[in-house]
Chain A
Amino acid sequence: MLAYIATRVGRAIFTIFLVLTFSFTILAATGDPALLIMSVDAPPEAIEAFRERYGLDASVWQQYIGYLGNLLQGNFGQSLRDGRDAWDVVVERIPLTLALTVPAFLLKIGIGIPAGIYAALHRNSFLDRLVMMISVAGYTVPSFVLGLILILIFAVNLGVLPSGGQDTWRHAILPIVTLGTAGAAIIARYTRSAMLEVLGQPYIRTARATGVPWPKAVRRHALPNAAIPTLTVVGLMVGSLIAGAVVVESVFSWPGVGRLLISAVANRDLMIVQAILLLVAVCMVTSNLLVDIAYGLIDPRLRGRSGSRKT
């Protein structure tokens, strides 16, 4: 088990390093932020001074080494806009984003998993079909469309909820529902198909033939085995807690990390973009790592084995 975890952690660190390098290279290749931020008709001396101040006059290679060196010391660089520490700018937005994504995540699990299990256990019943129909609708409608529809209904027509901003908890309701719907739909589908797959396995039939009562066969054999594939999807959703609300935050003018990312990209505020990308990468990789470790705990076949998974 230790070797298993060690390999996974090693890979996770390598993945983050790759993300860093790629994002740095691509951002460096897309043009000179000095020209955009200082405006094109600024005097050449001022642009030169700006470049010097933020180290943009060095070669890309030197900038990269310098950036990595700073990172290792916990320095994420400064915002090119107001010179504040990039990390501070990002971190102050995180609680706002989490205020949307965490309740939405609970909503996804709380609705998706029970709905999926119910649908699988009552396969082809009316409710099964209803659940699956809603779930197809839930994940095919893009979140910005769903968001606008909800605004139209609850803010414009009924006037019961605000359409955007983040002054009170009531402002959070529509974004949370918007975020939660698609996720719940996806989880419901995955849970249902995982359950159906497991319920069709010979060991369930064997358990029944042995005299195991149905509810017990479901609890003891079906649910734990169906949990394995479901966990993958849920794990990926944990990874998107920070970055998953970019679109929805824009629709509802919610000042979280997602909107910061959009404005930073528009303003070519390189260090902010880099800091957010790094944060997102770390979240994704960590959640994948946790899923991998959880796999090892749930599925004995993976224990004590590093590297390739055997099915």
Chain B
Amino acid sequence: MTSAPLISVSELRRTYKVKTTGGWFSPTAELKAVDGVSFDIRPGETLGLVGESGCGKSTTAKLVLGLIPATSGKVVFEGKPVAADSKRAWREQRRRMQMVYQDPLGALDRRLPVGTQAMEPLDIFGEGTKVERRDRMLALFDAVGLPRTSVDRYPHELSGGQRQRVVLARALMLRPSLLVCDEPISALDVSIQAQVINLLKDLQEQLGVAYLFISHDLKVVRHVSHRVAVMYLGRIVESGRPEEIMRAPAHPYSQALISAVPSPRARGKERIVLEGDPPSPVDIPKGCAFHPRCPLATDRCRSEAPELHPFGEQRHVACHRAGVSITSARGAA
């Protein structure tokens, strides 16, 4: 797969000014929500973005969509820059990139029937005649597995899984080439999660849409993604094919994440439990941001921030000690 990327993100940064204490005159500090993130997504491909809460996944999603302006860095989508400030071009890009959020009930207006809401994107961009729009909506309801009778229902009358299907149908209404899914299934019951995941995969096969799939759940991400990027404190620390990262995670943070995934085979295996909480993004540690929690940290890690460098085939790691296993290092000690 060497086709031109659908979307290309380079050195994306977003910082917020925050007050260190509550007072009016307290000094402000810089919160680095996203700190130099780069990735490509090719047409029809899924990039999974994993990381714990607060690591900048959702901010990345908003930046990619141009919903908030970036502090620096560039997003190029289908050859054109995505900028949050240019109105017409930005609106035109909405046709091609859409978003699915975590909470399907919140994402729907409770006052309008779901069919009307799903058709809204078509209405707004004035696509086709009224009859054509309705046909398109019905076709997509079929595609996402919603009964046609649900068209006139209100959000509160549907189940969580059905609501997420409505949200998906609406997002796909304009035939986008990129769908950003921000924790699309974490608000759903486990049994429904699998259905929606499979639906996402089927839709990708049928429509050739690319996904930026954001989740904190590695086993879900592994299931849907062609490539995975692991984020920690606003940076990508490891990226590559999911099966390889799952089999042999090179970054110690990935190792810890993967050892936390419950699996029947891992029973009895030692789990890597990280100490402490992730540091505040206002006060990112010097050197490698992960070093205070890393069991493998050396003096170099404490002073010099590692760059993302190639590590094996189609894989990148930002770690001075990439490839050293925490468990075997512990065993040797």
A210 lies within 8 A of B111 (CB): no
A225 lies within 8 A of B111 (CB): yes
Residue A298 at the chain B interface, CB threshold 8 Å: yes
> What distance in Å separates the Cβ of A239 from its nearest Cβ neighbour in chain B?
25
Chain B residues contacting A213 (CB-CB under 8 Å) are 91, 124
> What distance in Å separates the Cβ of A195 from its nearest Cβ neighbour in chain B?
15
A202 lies within 8 A of B124 (CB): no
A206 to B65 alpha-carbon distance, docked (Å): 12
Within B75-129, the residues touching A (CB, 8 Å) are 91, 94-95, 98-99, 101, 103, 106-111, 113, 120-121, 124-125
* Most chain B CB atoms below 10 A, which of A211, A221, A225, A300: A211
Of A206, A216, A301, which is within 8 A of B154 by CB? A301
Of B67, B95, B107, B154, which is within 8 A of A203 by CB? B107
Chain B residues contacting A300 (CB-CB under 8 Å) are 110-111, 113, 154, 156
Cβ proximity bits A203-216 to B, threshold 8 Å, 1 near / 0 not? 10111111111001
Residue A310 at the chain B interface, CB threshold 8 Å: yes
Chain A residues contacting B111 (CB-CB under 8 Å) are 224-225, 298-300
Residue B170 at the chain A interface, CB threshold 8 Å: yes
A225 lies within 8 A of B124 (CB): no
Chain B count of residues within 8 A CB distance of the other chain: 25
Residue A201 at the chain B interface, CB threshold 8 Å: yes
Within A174-211, the residues touching B (CB, 8 Å) are 201-203, 205-211
Chain B residues contacting A201 (CB-CB under 8 Å) are 106
Cβ proximity bits A85-125 to B, threshold 8 Å, 1 near / 0 not? 00000000000000000000000000000000000000000
The secondary-structure label for the interface of chain A is: helix
Chain A residues contacting B110 (CB-CB under 8 Å) are 225, 299-301
> What distance in Å separates the Cβ of A85 from its nearest Cβ neighbour in chain B?
48
A221 lies within 8 A of B109 (CB): yes
Chain A residues contacting B156 (CB-CB under 8 Å) are 300-301, 310
A209 to B91 alpha-carbon distance, docked (Å): 9
B106 lies within 8 A of A202 (CB): yes
A202 lies within 8 A of B107 (CB): yes
B120 lies within 8 A of A207 (CB): yes
> What distance in Å separates the Cβ of A31 from its nearest Cβ neighbour in chain B?
54
> What distance in Å separates the Cβ of B209 from its nearest Cβ neighbour in chain A?
15
Closest 9 CB pairs of A and B: A211-B94, A202-B106, A300-B154, A206-B107, A209-B99, A203-B109, A202-B107, A301-B156, A210-B121
**B binding-site residues for A, Cβ under 8 Å:** 65, 67, 91, 94-95, 98-99, 101, 103, 106-111, 113, 120-121, 124-125, 154, 156, 167, 170-171
**A binding-site residues for B, Cβ under 8 Å:** 201-203, 205-213, 216, 221, 224-225, 298-301, 310
Given contacts A210-B121, A211-B94, 13 further A-B contacts (CB under 8 A): A201-B106, A202-B101, A202-B103, A207-B109, A209-B67, A210-B94, A210-B124, A211-B124, A211-B125, A225-B111, A299-B110, A299-B111, A300-B113
